[in-house]
Amino acid sequence: MSVNTYNFSARELAVEARGDHQRIDNFLFNLLKGVPRSHIYRIVRKGEVRVNGGRVKADYRLRTGDRVRVPPMRLAERAVSERPKGRALDILERSILFQDDRILAINKPAGMAVHGGSGLSWGVIEGLRQIFPKDRDLELVHRLDRDTSGCLLVTKHRSTLRTLHDLLRRGAVEKRYTALLGGRLERERIDVRAALAKNVLQGGERVVRVDEQGKAARTSFRRIESVRDATLVEARPFTGRTHQIRVHAAYLGAPILGDEKYGRAAANRMWKALGLRRLFLHAASLRWEWPGESLPLTIMAPLPDELSNVLENAHGSI
């Protein structure tokens, strides 16, 4: 296998208008072509990348005029293909729900990461850039966990990305998920307001926990139906914290079925016998109004057959 050598000298760059509100990790991906994403995340995490003289996290959003210092790098990495194969591209192309001149929405399959990194050579965004090579500014608007399926938005222009990020910050994008919780909810509606904080375990695994010192988080759960000893719910997150719905469901004492990180092993095993082989969490819809336009846009993603079949099996076994 061939070896690629990447040699970059230290540099400091000023962020131009077209980079305004872009995440620092995406900025570096575009700047450091050929450098493995895992290495880019590493130098950000270690504080070797500086913005206006200070350390930042990978999700820091740049502003016009920010000064970004990138450290010198000389790497030798085994060449790996970062291009998804034909079958994966076919699956991705069939998953497209909607597109126009501003956005592209897909029904992200469970098990597919939204972007490469952390040992993955590619994800949804790399695949879409290969499918639509003429759309040079495709960018993720938000993220979904790898094991979560459903509505995922991608923009075709920087200006659209800034608009949608502003709407997200103001809570003007309504997100609704479908989840199957391992337990019965006594009330039809439950509103969870519990702050969340990220933690890293000794082995390096990242987990999120309810912590009053963490960031404010709110999720509303609405019961759709009870199925055996579980509850099918619509979950609406009003904030966008990592693993928010999963942690808030566990906080209620009814973790999402199929959740190996925050769930219960015994319940997961029982539902696996009914065909559940993944996390039962699906991003069902997104709804917002473009500034200056009166009609809202709603994107809906049908529940995957693999999850619908689990519900049918559960009803049939009662």
Q: Which residues are known to be catalytic?
A: 145
CA within 13 Å, CB half, 92: 24
Two structure tokens written together for 162: 């800034």
